[in-house]
Structure 1
Amino acid sequence: MVCKTIRWEYAFFGLLYLLGVCLHAQDQRIADSLAVVYADGNLETQHLKDVLLEVSFNERRDLDKALGYCNELIGLAAASKDYFYLFRAYRQKAEIHLQRGNFDTALEAYFNSLDAARLTENLSWQGSVMTGIADTYSEMGNSSNASAYYNDAIDVLRFGTDSITLAISILNAGDEYFKAQKYDSALAYFQESAGIFEQEDYLIGKAYAQGNTGMVQAATGDYQLAERNINQAVVILEEFKDSYAISEYLTYMADSYWEQGEKKTALEYAHRSLDMAIQFGIKPQISDTNLKLSQFYEELGKVQESLKHFKEHVAYRDSVNNLAAVQRMADLRTDYEVSQKQVEVDLLNQQKRNQLIILASVGVLAAVLLWFFVAIRKEKKKSDTLLLNILPKEIAKELKEKGEVKSVRFENVTVLFTDFVQFSEIAAKADAKQLVRSLDYYFRMFDAITASYGLEKIKTIGDAYMCAAGLPSPDPQHVRNTIMAAREITARVQESLEHTNGLIRFQIRAGIHSGPVIAGIVGTKKFQYDIWGDTVNIAARMESNSEPGRINISEITYEAIREEFDCSYRGEISVKNRGELKMYFLN
């Protein structure tokens, strides 16, 4: 059992424009009311986004319905390039999958949310998503990644004005110290977060800080004070219907009563926790509470009850962990571990018979492991080929050799962004298959051009294409090569306007900026080589301020190529945290 981490979803003060209501925490009653408004169907697009945002946030009774609202909002936000709603919708989707224990899916949604948040240049939003990513790694037991993202989130948020999101990150970072049994550090983090929550009068945050403080007190033997703090926290959380937190705190209270010898009360708390976790489909808590009940009943000598709960623990634990490399062995591993538990129970009366069961189980496991490793060897070549399609060659090699890729700062990189003019309007009227074929035509062309000049494709976001020169290997000609690639891309797109060939034709605009970036891998289920920093944000601003068929470059890029390429000064734009920046058209 570990401390409860607070989800960032509670920190968002959502303004519902249609109804003029300010939401400070989730409320199923609000979801029910908004569902009626949504079903009426007479909403303008902007109001529909507001309703979808708030109804998905407040819907706690039917999480499948909440996911449906999220997915509809993602589609609307992506089509209109509304990065605020895209960030919120993906983040809310991640929260729901995290609550259900679908960690891989949660991480994928979080990283999509982080991409959108970075495009808004809002530090508080970026910090909030980093906290969610850290929460997910924490639930997966990956303390190293969790701590790294918590620290990054806190560093970012201390520069912002969102005190509540900062307090949440501090609270959840304290949870990692609690797991490591560093109780003094955990308590310090919980108390710092409690002070901020108190200052902001943020009730649910105060409840989490108080409950987690009680768990530290229980771990250090102060049961009376722990019981008071946890029970007070549960009372507050019941008002918010926070089933996840209540279930976990109830399990911890059961543990506390058991340690004090009040076994009947302990069992009541544990079963109450399990019932709540089952009702709301909280797989991690179903697994943890079943394990706790198995231990309780084993100590009471009720072996059948103990075995029943242990089987449930193993089944839900495997569904939560979802380890892809051993998924084909999941059923056998569950049967094996349950049989081992049965061995422990039967040893009370049948020592000799269970020794044979152990030997047989080990033999079966050894045979399965042999098959497993033979199968893995056959798949290795396919995996290597797939990895090279996802990551640069140097990065893929480092990942295979070391098992991880360290983030690297590159001082001299040039970043190119392109997007299609009026794409959203065209896409709204186009045939879906024709639209996908057209994007594939252009992006394949861009891939070939950028590769010929030594640029590294980073990613596509909708109709936007992002690439960079000067990484993962330094390139002294990174500025010139990017300029040449951009010129060829815009020329080829212009030429394509004369021939339709059954495809949709677009005009393109491009933006370029040069400077330092941080590069590394994000994600666990779907690796992605990505870059971050002001250089990326400024390149995106150059592109958004360009014109059809033109390449808009920053002053830094201009100074590097002014002797070779003809350019025209076109004025300044205001960039957050950077002031006024000059722009030039490449002629």
Structure 2
Amino acid sequence: MNRFLVVILLLFGVHQIHGQDDYFEIWQDETQTDSARAKAYYTYLYLNYMFDDPDSTIILVENLKAFAKKNNDTYSIGLGQFLKANSYYFSGDYINALKFGEEALKTFEQHTDKLKLSQTLSLIGEIYSDQGDNVKALDYIKRSSKIAEEIDNTIQRVNTITLIGNIYFNQEDYGNALSYYKQSLELTKNDTISLDYSNSLFSIGSTYMREGDYSAALEYFNKSEVIYRELGEQVGLSNILYEKGNVYAEQEKFNIALEFYKESLKVDEEYEIYYNAMIKYLGIGQLYKRMSQFREARDFCTQSLELSEEFGILSIEEESCECLYEAYKNLGNLSKAVEFNDRYKALKESLSEEQTVLKLQQMEFSKQVEADSLKQVEIDLRKQIAFDRDLNRKDRNKNIAIGIGLLFLIISGAYYSRYRYTKKSKNIIENEKERSENLLLNILPAEIAEELKEKGKADARNFDTVSMLFTDFKGFTQVSEKLSAEDLLAELNICFKAFDLICTKYNIEKIKTIGDAYMAAGGLPVPEDISVKNTVLAALEMQAFITDRIAEKKNNNDLYFEMRLGIHTGPVVAGIVGVKKFQYDIWGDTVNTAARMESSGEVGKVNISEDTYQLIKDDKDFTFEHRGMIKAKGKGEINMYFVSKSTF
């Protein structure tokens, strides 16, 4: 629900000088001025109850109302009305939300508080937007935006402009949506490492994607991803990766899409963002279904179904059952297929009934507004939907959010994550420690990182049998001259990320990248008997990835890179270089010889040395082509072989 965006922006409009408990202490401190106490209590309710427990906010705000009435403080009464309006909005009670919103609006007009006036107009606009009255919604939000511009409040201006863009986006008027999102980007350009700026980039990218301009979409997604990573915003990062996957899925580049989907899911699982993970499981399952890999589709859609049942999201549950029906049908398990088909049909009917109830609410809401008889219609509506609300309030609110669109789930999720982080500030030290450790593990092998933490240093070590792998793109300089810097980096990123995943799969240690060259090693920091074979398997899979990538590029008439790859096995010394920016590196003649294996190879092939060949020559999984003695720079002639996977 895009409402989260507004509330968090309002929340961060309050200067958080104090912790949440501090605000409650100010409220109880009778030595403070009445105005300070009222504002502190307002902030306390906003921070502690607005998101998690809006019903309690409605009750507790009566304390503020009574206090304000006692002191004849009409402004604080307005703050209470504003809290109630937001709380009823979160609860799905649009009639009371509008009632208290309009009362707050009158109060803030009398007190000429233009910021609160702008925020209240935005709220009322969103109420109308959720009820499908986009004309009134735009009227209120544009009035809000104009006031925000008058008082030069950038946060509120960005908020209102984004809301206007969202309305046009929901109407599939992508031209107008793009215009407003770009205005939001312009307003935030002075702080390019900010959540606002990154979200604006994301919104623009999503709009381009809906228009089918995939190149532009990826351009903005890539920029947004960099900022999310720098800010450590895991929800935003997860969803930007997922949207990038959607771009490739739309183009039927399924293997690339799958990589981004799984990377996105990995973030959700690592940071326990289960609501988002539910959507990713479903997306991956549906992608596998499109790829006719029905076992994998079954496994992922089963996980999305379990989470959708836990969260009570009927729309995701419906799609998961449909996915499982198709999967089991194609796997030949007809009894399971029938079971999930029946569930799918029942859920579809339930959702249809729910939409009917929602439309009735919208009709009654419109009638209520026109008749200006809020109280009577509220009673009528409550009678009509009492049973549905008691049993399905959570379902309805969340399904409205799903209906509005994944884009706003992503944007709101990012802000909500930020809020939750603030609310749980007591965990900051632990989180930062974990984050630092993750960063350390990202640049050093786990064993070396542990040694470094324990001893403050890591000793260099000798390894007798390490398989060094080198890759290099042929004609990289010539091709790169024809690409923009962004396209060049994007292509390298795609290739190297794929190589990273392959190294992880085969337990190969990535050492570093040098320009367009990629360097990895098998057999360290923990020696394994199978490391030589795994290094060769990883090399073959890397070449297979590049071959597939070339085919895709050729189909699109795009420029592409061809790759040479070489492996040599022998002794090395490994350790940490430097004292400020740690780097795990390796030295020895083995490294130089492996580099010669690469430079003496051929594109699309895996070239190995005699030493590597001797260690795997009896392995039935490989076939070899003896190349003879090949002259290598600085090494003389070396016996070399091309290796490939056996076809039997």
Q: Larger radius of gyration, structure 1 or 2?
A: 2
Normalization by structure 2: what TM-score? 0.39
